[in-house]
Amino acid sequence: MKFTTNSIKSCAARIGLLTEFERIPNSTFETPLVLVYTKGGCVPHLTKDVFKMVTSSPQMLSVSLSSTYLMQETMKDCNINFANFVGMKEYINFLAIHDPAFTTPSGFREPKIIPLWTRCGKYAMTVDKYMDIIETFKPDMYVALCDGDTNIDSSRKRISKSVENSLTFFEQCFIKHSSSEALKSSEILGAIEGGYDKDARTVSINHLKTKPLIGYVIDGLHNNGPHVKDIPAKQIKDIVEHTISLLPTEKLRVSMGCWNPLTVLELVELGVDIFDTSYPYIITENLEALTFLCDRDDCNNIGHIISFTEGRYADDFSPICSHCECLTCKNHTKAYLHHLCNVKELLGKVLLMIHNVHQYLEFFKIIRENIKRGTLDDYKKKINLKFKQNNVIQTEEFTYTKDTKLISL
């Protein structure tokens, strides 16, 4: 696999190109890009046929070991790699340890072990066990075993231990990766740890920079889960900028987690190349639809999301966005979606996931276009306005509800 970029600045939005994948040689991906979030190797709520109707262009999949761990024994017995086992062989896959859409429990640490949380409970993950699984899965790209159990509230002792553990794990993983015949077609990425401590991040980076890696994962900023979408960009900007300023410009930079679009734009401006679609998944689970790309007056969508738990859409026979080209907006109304969500019909989340994934893929397409035109800053201001409008609407609704209760008394 090869990553190229024309960028010469460390902390700047950039266009890159991923090419020469061993398994699918003709695949080419332009960055910044978004990995399509999966659970158990499948896009949540969508069958493979439906997903192909959402997008016909090549995509990269985000796969978490926590949602696929239980498959490993069957895969080993059948002598089949992950892509073929889940029937997604035409997609490049990126394997991470934890599921970005679900909160990773903090603690439960043991020497030389990382806890892996699955739907069947906790499993102790050593380097040997992890690399055995990687050799079975044979992913196109994967992250070395790491201790990313840090966030903004982590102590210096926890941060120091996180860096120490991760560097030890990486060295052992890298030795096994380099000598493995099964992983000759796979790329390993190092995880940069250090929480919100610049000195700790520097130690982690200086060690990993000496290795022949295609890129790095900026880890340890959060513990995954829905709360990540509420982390403001200003909270992470300083530490991410410091981190990226020390990284080689020719290397790939990845940031996993359900960052909201505003934070994504900030990270893109700093030079991050790859994200994932766990944010649209979280929005779908909340019975909401993304509308931050709707900038036409006839759409009547003021904020960045709309919630189908609200009764106002019960008799709204317009699509989510009249200019959206997704299957949901072409064929269904807000009233129908409200009904499906109200009666908890499975089709409700299917239609919302179709729309939300389509919108997010379009979002990254627009980001790349604006970087090429040099108008990313203007686009960021436009998206900021959408989010501010949503906050105004929520404030007005709260005031209205509060006043109504007072009147009823």
Mind listing the pLDDT tens digit of every residue in the chain (409 residues)? 999 998 777 789 999 999 999 999 999 999 999 999 999 999 999 999 999 999 999 999 999 999 999 999 999 999 999 999 999 999 999 999 999 999 999 988 888 999 999 999 999 999 999 999 999 999 999 999 999 999 999 999 999 999 999 999 999 999 999 999 999 999 999 999 999 999 999 999 999 999 999 999 999 999 999 999 999 999 999 999 999 999 999 999 999 999 999 999 999 999 999 999 999 999 999 999 999 998 765 667 778 999 999 999 999 999 999 889 999 999 999 999 999 999 999 999 999 999 999 999 999 999 999 999 999 999 999 999 888 876 555 545 544 444 544 433 3
- Residues 395 and 406: their CA atoms lie apart, in Å, by 17
CA 246 to chain CA mean position, Å: 23
Full-model pTM: 0.93
Domain membership of residue 332 (yes or no) is yes
Does 199 share its domain with 333? no
pLDDT of 17 reads: 97
The answer to whether 316 and 306 are in contact (CB under 8 A) is no
Does 10 share its domain with 150? yes
pLDDT of 406 reads: 40
User: Is 321 one of the annotated binding-site residues?
Assistant: no
pLDDT of 107 reads: 87
Question: Quick one: DSSP state of residue 21?
Answer: -
Could you tell me the CATH number of the domain that includes residue 87? 3.20.20.105
- Choose the final residue of a domain: 284, 304, 339: 284
- Residues 211 and 206: their CA atoms lie apart, in Å, by 10
Does 241 share its domain with 207? yes
Whether the CA torsion 134, 66, 47, 93 is positive or negative: it is negative
Please give the structure tokens belonging to residue 12. 């700047």
Domain membership of residue 405 (yes or no) is no
User: Is 324 one of the annotated binding-site residues?
Assistant: yes
- Choose the final residue of a domain: 242, 260, 284: 284
Domain membership of residue 406 (yes or no) is no
Does 155 share its domain with 270? yes
- Residues 70 and 74: their CA atoms lie apart, in Å, by 8
Between strands 33-37 and 60-64, the pairing is parallel
What beta strand segments (E) does 159-204 contain? 187-192
Domain membership of residue 397 (yes or no) is no
Q: Is 399 exposed, middle or buried (0-12, 13-18, 19+ CB in 10 A)?
A: exposed
Domain membership of residue 404 (yes or no) is no
Does 58 share its domain with 74? yes
- Choose the final residue of a domain: 284, 312, 340: 284
pLDDT of 400 reads: 46
Domain membership of residue 88 (yes or no) is yes
User: Is 329 one of the annotated binding-site residues?
Assistant: yes
pLDDT of 296 reads: 64
Does 197 share its domain with 279? yes
Q: How many CA atoms lie within 13 A of 406 on its CB side?
A: 6
Does 270 share its domain with 298? no
Does 323 share its domain with 275? no
Residue type, 119: R
Distances (CA, A) of 242 to 68, 144, 237, 261: 34, 22, 9, 21
Domain membership of residue 103 (yes or no) is yes
Closest residue by Cα to residue 227 from 176, 286, 187? 286
Does 193 share its domain with 328? no
Closest residue by Cα to residue 137 from 63, 219, 192, 232? 63
pLDDT of 136 reads: 98
Does 280 share its domain with 316? no
The answer to whether 125 and 111 are in contact (CB under 8 A) is no
Range of the domain at 140: 2-284
Domain membership of residue 399 (yes or no) is no
Q: How many structural domains is the chain composed of?
A: 2
- Residues 239 and 272: their CA atoms lie apart, in Å, by 13
